[in-house]
Structure 1
Amino acid sequence: MQTLKSDTGNSLKKLKQPINLIVLVVLIGLTVFRLVLSAKAPYFTNLFAGYDDQLFIRYSEEILKGNWLGEYSTTTLSKGVSYSLFMVWSNKLHLSYGVSLGIFNILASSIAAIALRPLIHNRWILIFIYTFFLYSPVTLTSEYSTRIYRNTLVVPAVLLVISCLIGLYFRRNGKLRPFILWSGGLSLIFPFYWYIREDSLWLFPILTVGLVIIFGSVIFENNPNFKLKNIRTAIKKIHFTKQQVVKLILCFLPFVLLFSTVKVLKNMNQEHYGVALVNDRTSGAFGNVSKQLIRMDDGTELNEKNSKVWVSKKALEKAEAVSPALKSIARNIEWIYKGSPWSGGEDIAGDIIFWALRDAAAQADYYKDGKKTEEFWSKVDSELSSAYKKGQLKQKKEIYLTATGDGKLRKDLPLVGEFMKSGFDYNVFYKNYSQGADVTLGPKDDVGKAEKLLKHSFKENWQDINLPRTESPKVVKSAKISNRIIQLYRDITPVWLGFCALGFLIILIGSLFSKAQLKTFRGMLLILLGLVLSYLIFLIGVSWFCSWAPERKDMFMMIYTGAGVPVVQWIEVMAFVGIVQLPIIAKKINKKNS
């Protein structure tokens, strides 16, 4: 007890020191200002967007009513549930949506800075890193900040996953308590991140490889002279302490919680809808049917002439010819091309055909009962599989990255490269990022319900379609400030990238020639390589998917590449930290009293 009083007294004495008070005031000021920007931001939504904005609002409202995701339909199990749960938690805590989002961004930026504490002891540098992440332009631009849509959570969630993994790595051979905290944080955020979107797989490799490396490091942490070439000898000398055993178990915890979350969601959906699936659009029988339709050779040259079309009308006709189950809704499929809002008779581009196909099945009285619908698509899946085996259907000769994604021919790859270049410009140079005066659309009653859910008023930017505004909403003060911050980042980017390039060079040289800091430099280089490869996987995946619409290249790459920004910024920060690790600099800034 006396020791506790003594520690508290020492902490208060340190806090009263002028320099420490300045640090605290700066930190609080930056944090409060960012929270105010988030709370006062001009949020907007489109409640006519039944597959996007409106869908997540409806999920949240049904969860609050105790109805899980509502009545079963074509959209009920089509998207992840994390974003709606975030809105529900915010509502339950009596916080406005803007405040909750601000707190989440503050949390993510704080964890990112704290993750580097073993490498950096200087508080001002840590505050700089915290601020760099906290005011990131992607968290201020409309698509990732003020639109009531799941993209707002993607950036802080990715930042948290990477930060917790890096924080765990730098504490892998330290005390048990910090290891437990970082592993626990990673285990909680990863399942939440996984179900924000359906394309979360790209971050799985770095998590897996990172935890394998941490696992191996824990095994040999009692052997300071361990070298890879002496691994057989080292294995013979392995002896585990209780601390090591606990750490090794904790390395599996993120996967255990992810698989547990999958199991819980499947059980929930089984109970409410009769199908043990988390998503019935990208997985289950419909996911299998989508895969088979995408890969089908329709017997024409359309595949070579028009890469926009994933599944042609001709392909659907061939599928109907070998699948009696699909043939049973032929009249509804014909409606897609004659009378539906999806097409005016022409082939449908991209993955939109699958939303249309679900609507066609709904017209045939499916998507009212989950079990019946899954049985229908299972029958179609079985009949198409049989037709492929018998040679009635043939596959296109294309390159595929994912099961339900489109394939590419060699001639399509340059276009994918163009999309990658566009995405890179958005992620690194914050191209076209801004916050504006967007309007909220929707029926008055629905807007009122959304306001109640989000504890936010849309009266300043609501557009009544029956009574159009005479004036457009004005750009509010918080948006103007956000745009200035975004422009500041753009202005300093060329100089900042120069520093990062120097830092990367220092890390590379240090990992080859440094003696005193060899382990640190090689660890940083390993993290950098992992982040670069992860970003490359992400950028290829997004570009591959979006390249079916060349005319929408810039719009798509701005909307879908936001998750790449925290990865790029982590690469930049790690490179910057390489400069700080130079002994001549580290000696001056990493003082004990700093």
Structure 2
Amino acid sequence: MADSILNGEWLGGYTVNTLVKGCFFPLLSAFIHVLGLSWMGTMTFIYTIACMIFIYALCPLIQRKSLLLLVYTAVLFNPVTYAAWTFQRFYRNGITMAQVLIVFACVLIIYMRRNEAVRKSVFWAILGGFTLWSLWNTREDGIWIMPFMIVATAVTIVLIIVKKKSKKETIQHIIVVLLPLLMLSGGNFCVRSVNYLCYGIFSYNEINDSSFSDAMKAIYSVKPEEKIERVSVTREKVERMYKVSPTLKSVEPFLESSMDAWDYNDQAPGDGEVQDGWFFWSLRDAVSNTGYYCDAKTADEFYSKVAVEIETAFEEGSTIIEKQKTMPSALMSPWREGYFSKIVETMQKITDYVLHYDEVETRAEYSNQSTADGIRSFEGLTNDRALYPEDRNSYIRGWYVSFKENVAYVAITDADQNIIQKAVLKVSEDVAGYLGEKKVPFAEKCRFEEVIPKSDYTGKMYLTSFTKEDKVIDMIPLSRETMGEKTDNYEYNFDSLQLSNIDIREGYVRPYVDRMNAIGKIYKVTGVGIFILSVVAYLYSGVSLIKKKEKEKTVTVMLILSGLFLSTIVLFGGVAYNEIASCDSIRYMYLSGAYPMVLAFEGLAIIYALELLLEHRKRS
């Protein structure tokens, strides 16, 4: 899609996947590519700026800036921001953490400046609105942040009205407070309009905003006769829906075949059923294979007819299907008896998972794209390098001379001096000229250039020089960290060095990977303890409200902490529901938005309580 944007074709030709996900990720990818920047470097930069903005928002609340530096450091080095499933992948969840921090920071700044000149809040309202829109159009489950946005907006407006400013000032401040939500609505309208012009349907996303979502809700509203865990659309239910929906019946052979295929993607492969996390994909594949995805309007009309036919059957009192309640989102399968206790239990599991940073790690791995062309396309788009799993050849080009011995030949060897690849020495007049008066033997022929065939060997490799008697003269470790060296015994220079079998994963990258994981381990070990301490600090700040004469700052801090805490709970609840009702969802890439909120809650709660304690001691 990013390639299509770069070619001026919006999201490209219409297919079953074109409008199934948000447009912001390909837009951002194309923008970064046009600037000629590295994707990974830009993601790091954006997250760093997000951390700075969040700390800037907290500045009026914390007197001791050294304490804010601690919070900044804790949030900045969040292990999920350099982990394999988020940052190391070209994946949309990698931007979520920055989006969350910026939205919270902007809302906080607007709240705290509600009594100041309007102009001081306009920029932050615009930034917050754009970021909120980007979050909404990055993932289809961005609705979890809306409770915070609605409550924060309502509280701020009420306080503005209570302040009893002039009518003009009050209206201006209310407009600024509403601006993020207005920008979200306006931004989605713009995306809908562009999609209408390009594809013929007025939708920003087919999952949440189209006849497909209507069809999914209608399908979910049909009560199944069998109760199968994580399966709301059973085979027997599909058979009954065929009888009331001629349109759905028209894709029967394709849907049956598609469900057979998708059955093997869920947690009970071979049982003939498709779990809810995969059913909508199987339905879309079936409709696509039937030919309805020739254009967006035709596909949308198909789903509209399915929804209308099922609803009509309900209204006419059909005895074939029975209606059941559905959830607000088409992504959520119907509620079942016993879910409440399961959700509570699963949320406890998620809390433990997040606080221990389970599965969060940095890795040195090969690209998992299926073809070299696929990898190259991602390299071109992201301006980052990949390691090709099918191209394990190593390559070396450079020169070497010995000042002590006459060199007969050089070779690439292992640590035991076993030859992996013998190097052919070539004419090197440039090296001889460089060495000048030293008159080093064989300096006129000391260059080499070799491709080292891929093999199962994954150990350290060396450039080893030998005498005529096969005696080892020097063994130089091959490493991109040291591309040249001059000693009393020898001098060498590697013009180019690529050690695909060990270098990327076990060579010069390994120290950086280990360093990142060492930082991550600190979070893993201290996560639970720091969270418990932060909850105690949160409660202490709440109790201090009763005794403290000047309550405004503490009230603000408590509102922020409560917003962070409750938003995290909402996100946990959504993931927990999906885990028990749909498919395996307890993965840090789906929970990525929670980690900065948890760290921000912990940091602010602890340092504010510490300030209260220091102030109390000073007064004593």
TM class by shorter-chain length? Answer: 0.7 to 0.9
Match of 2:601 among 566, 571, 581: 571
Match of 1:509 among 521, 525, 543: 543
Instruction: Say whether residues 1:289 and 2:215 are aligned partners.
Output: yes
Moved more, 310-319 or 399-408: 399-408
Deviation of 1:339 after TM superposition, in Å, equals 6.2
Amino acid paired to 1:417: V
Instruction: Say whether residues 1:519 and 2:446 are aligned partners.
Output: no
Moved more, 450-459 or 277-286: 277-286
Instruction: Say whether residues 1:199 and 2:121 are aligned partners.
Output: no
1:342-361 equivalences in 2 (<5 Å): 346-361=272-287
Distance 1:319 1:468 in 2: 56
Distance 1:376 1:387 in 2: 17
Deviation of 1:259 after TM superposition, in Å, equals 1.1
Match of 1:218 among 154, 160, 166: 160
Distance 2:361 2:290 in 1: 44
1:307-456 equivalences in 2 (<5 Å): 307-337=229-259, 346-392=272-318, 393-395=320-322, 400=327, 402-442=329-369, 443-456=371-384
Amino acid paired to 1:428: L
Q: Secondary structure at the match of 2:98?
A: helix
Instruction: Say whether residues 1:138 and 2:168 are aligned partners.
Output: no
Instruction: Say whether residues 1:63 and 2:5 are aligned partners.
Output: yes
Distance 2:532 2:242 in 1: 58
Runs of 4+ deviating beyond 6 Å? 339-343
Q: Secondary structure at the match of 2:333?
A: coil
Structure 1, unaligned runs of 5 or more: 1-58, 222-237, 589-594
Structure 2, unaligned runs of 5 or more: 393-452, 459-500
Deviation of 1:495 after TM superposition, in Å, equals 4.7
- What do the CA deviations read for 1:21-43 (whole angstroms, capped 9, x no partner)? xxxxxxxxxxxxxxxxxxxxxxx
Name the CA shift for 1:581/1:181 in 2 (closer, same or farther; >3 Å): farther
Instruction: Say whether residues 1:271 and 2:197 are aligned partners.
Output: yes
Instruction: Name whichever structure is richer in strand by fraction.
Output: 2
Q: Secondary structure at the match of 1:253?
A: helix
- What do the CA deviations read for 1:61-119 (whole angstroms, capped 9, x no partner)? 11111111111111000001111122111111111111110111111100110001111
Deviation of 1:440 after TM superposition, in Å, equals 1.0
Distance 2:352 2:386 in 1: 33
Any conservation in 2 of the 1:502–1:579 contact (CA below 8 Å)? no
Deviation of 1:426 after TM superposition, in Å, equals 2.7
Deviation of 1:338 after TM superposition, in Å, equals 5.1
Instruction: Say whether residues 1:490 and 2:489 are aligned partners.
Output: no
Distance 2:159 2:609 in 1: 25
**TM-score normalised per structure 1:** 0.79
Name the CA shift for 1:514/1:77 in 2 (closer, same or farther; >3 Å): same
Distance 1:399 1:258 in 2: 26
Amino acid paired to 1:362: S
Any conservation in 1 of the 2:160–2:170 contact (CA below 8 Å)? yes
Distance 1:401 1:262 in 2: 19
2:590 equivalent in structure 1: 560
1:534 equivalent in structure 2: 567
Name the CA shift for 1:179/1:148 in 2 (closer, same or farther; >3 Å): same
Distance 1:462 1:85 in 2: 29
Amino acid paired to 1:419: T
2:435 equivalent in structure 1: none
Name the CA shift for 1:309/1:411 in 2 (closer, same or farther; >3 Å): same
Name the CA shift for 1:380/1:394 in 2 (closer, same or farther; >3 Å): same
- Greater relative contact order (CA < 8 Å, ≥ 6 in sequence): 1
Distance 1:212 1:561 in 2: 27
Q: Secondary structure at the match of 2:589?
A: helix
Any conservation in 2 of the 1:155–1:566 contact (CA below 8 Å)? yes
Any conservation in 2 of the 1:293–1:311 contact (CA below 8 Å)? yes
Instruction: Say whether residues 1:91 and 2:1 are aligned partners.
Output: no
Deviation of 1:587 after TM superposition, in Å, equals 9.2
**TM-score normalised per structure 2:** 0.76
- What do the CA deviations read for 1:505-559 (whole angstroms, capped 9, x no partner)? 33111222211x2122222222222332222221111110122467x46xx3333
Any conservation in 1 of the 2:195–2:203 contact (CA below 8 Å)? yes
Any conservation in 2 of the 1:293–1:315 contact (CA below 8 Å)? no
Instruction: Name whichever structure is richer in helix by fraction.
Output: 1
1:113 equivalent in structure 2: 55
1:179 equivalent in structure 2: 121
Q: Secondary structure at the match of 2:229?
A: coil
Please tell me the root mean square deviation across aligned C-alpha atoms, in Å.
2.6
1:75 equivalent in structure 2: 17
Distance 1:507 1:118 in 2: 17
- What do the CA deviations read for 1:370-399 (whole angstroms, capped 9, x no partner)? 111111111111111101112225446567
Distance 1:328 1:415 in 2: 38
Deviation of 1:292 after TM superposition, in Å, equals 1.6
Match of 2:576 among 527, 535, 543: 543
Any conservation in 2 of the 1:337–1:344 contact (CA below 8 Å)? no
Deviation of 1:586 after TM superposition, in Å, equals 8.4
Aligned length: 505
Any conservation in 2 of the 1:265–1:278 contact (CA below 8 Å)? yes
Distance 2:220 2:560 in 1: 37
Any conservation in 2 of the 1:401–1:407 contact (CA below 8 Å)? no
Deviation of 1:578 after TM superposition, in Å, equals 2.6
